[in-house]
Amino acid sequence: MVFAHGGCVYIMTNKLHTVLYVGVTSDIVDRVWKHKTHFYPNSFTAKYNCEKLVYYSFYSRIEEAIAVEKALKGGNRKAKIQLINELNPNWIDLYDKLIEE
């Protein structure tokens, strides 16, 4: 899904859920695919094997998405976990669901 003016905030994790990565993008499907395939081999998500999409939220304006991303990155781990648990209590990989939409 590509957004002309909007964006998506997302959280990736590794298999053991020990690392959380918060990102923002205007093309969530492509961006998550790049995380999963280690398209950028020297990136944080490649280094820590963050290949599992556990949270995402769409915003009509990219500026809003960027502000939310910054707030999440500035927040603590507990707040991120609570956000994930509200949407995805079993921490399943949401990528397949996303590409079906």
**Do the domain assignments include residue 2?**
no
Inter-residue contact 19 to 50 (CB < 8 Å)? yes
Structural domain boundaries, residue 14: 7-100
| Residues 3, 34: Cα–Cα separation, whole Å | 17
Indicate if the alpha-carbon torsion angle 90, 80, 14, 54 is positive or negative: positive
Inform me whether the pLDDT recorded for 1 exceeds 90: no
| Residues 3, 28: Cα–Cα separation, whole Å | 9
Give how many domains the chain has, as a whole number: 1
Pairing relation of β-strands 20-25 and 7-13?
antiparallel
Write the CB contacts of 78 (distance below 8 Å, at least 6 apart in sequence): none
Pairing relation of β-strands 52-59 and 20-25?
unpaired
Question: What H or E segment, with its residue span, contains residue 13?
Answer: strand 7-13
Inform me whether the pLDDT recorded for 2 exceeds 60: no
**Do the domain assignments include residue 61?**
yes
Res 93: pLDDT? 97
Q: Give the residue among 6, 18, 5, 101 at the shortest CA–CA distance from 52.
A: 18
Per-residue pLDDT tens over the stretch 3-48: 567 999 999 999 999 999 999 999 999 999 999 999 999 999 999 9
CATH code of the domain containing 68: 3.40.1440.10
